[in-house]
Structure 1
C-alpha cells in the first residue's frame, strides 16, 4: 500500500471512530434523561408487557389526587399525598411550592424517583389547567386500564397501598 492510501485509510478510520464515539455519547446522554410514564396501577402491578420500575429509577406518574390524602408539614414546604387511577394508591412526597391548581380530586403528573414499591420522592408536580383537560398520557393510560389487562377485580379494588 502506498503512503498516500495509508494516509487516507487513517483519516477514514479516525473519522469513523470519531462519529461512532459521538453517536454513542449522545445515546448515553439521552438514555440518562429519559423518564418513563406510569399510572399507579402500572407502578404496583407492572405494565402489560411485564416491565416494572426498580427502586431508585426516575419516572413520571399520573393520576388523580385522592380526596383527604393531602398532608402538609406546618414547619416546611413538605407535602405528601396519595395518587390513584382505578386501582391501588401510590404515595407522593414533594418538597416545594405546589402549582396553584393543585387540589384533591385533581389530575396531576409528578416526576421523581421511586423510593419504595409504592412511594415516590417527587421533584416536580404538574397540575392540569382546566376542568376538561387531561394530559394525553393519563387519558390514554386510563383508557388502557379500563380495558382487560389481566388484573383481577380484587387487585384493582382491594389493594390500597
Structure 2
C-alpha cells in the first residue's frame, strides 16, 4: 500500500473508534439517568415500572407511619398522591408538609425508595418539586 492508502485506513479507523466511543458514552448515560416524575405523572403511567427514577412532592400531613426502620408516607403534588416505603434512617430535616425527593422504583402501586432527600433549609424546595407543584396548580 502507498502512504496515501495507509493514511486513509488510519483516518477510517480513528473515525470508527470515535463513533464507537460516543455511542458507548450515550448508552452508559442513558442507562444510569434517574429521571424525575411527580405523583401525577406516576398516576398517569408515565413513570417506568421496574426501573429506578426520582419521585418528589410534599409529604402529606398525617400520612407518616414508622415501624422500626421501615417508614411509609404519602407524597403529593396537590393533585395526586403516591405512597412511598423506605427502609432506613430518614434525613434529620424530613417532616410532614415538606418537599422531598425519593429515589427508587415502582413496585405495583407503591414506590420503594432506596434514598430520601429532604430540603436543606426553610426557604429551599428542589426545583423539580416546585415545577411539579406549579404544573399541578394549572
What TM-score comes out, normalization by structure 2 length? 0.91
| Contact 1:65–1:82 (Cα < 8 Å) also in 2 | yes
Partner of 2:125: 134
Q: Secondary structure at the match of 1:80?
A: strand
The gaps in structure 1 that reach 5 residues or longer are 47-51, 148-161
Residue by residue over 1:43-84, the C-alpha shift from the partner in whole angstroms, topping out at 9 and shown as x without a partner, is 1025xxxxx12211221111111122222223xx22111111
Per the TM alignment, residue 24 of structure 1 is displaced from its structure 2 partner at its CA by: 0.7
Partner of 2:90: 98
* Larger fraction in strand: 2
Distance 1:144 1:104 in 2: 21
Partner of 1:145: 136
Partner of 1:73: 67
Residue by residue over 1:30-50, the C-alpha shift from the partner in whole angstroms, topping out at 9 and shown as x without a partner, is 10111111111121025xxxx
**Alignment length (residue pairs):** 138
The match for 2:56 among 56, 59, 62 is 62
The gaps in structure 2 that reach 5 residues or longer are none
| Contact 2:41–2:47 (Cα < 8 Å) also in 1 | no
Distance 1:45 1:83 in 2: 15
1:2-81, aligned counterparts within 5 Å?
Answer: 3-45=2-44, 52-74=46-68, 77-81=69-73
What TM-score comes out, normalization by structure 1 length? 0.79
- Whether 1:125 and 2:112 are equivalent positions in the alignment is no
Per the TM alignment, residue 132 of structure 1 is displaced from its structure 2 partner at its CA by: 2.3
Per the TM alignment, residue 21 of structure 1 is displaced from its structure 2 partner at its CA by: 0.8
Distance 1:89 1:140 in 2: 16
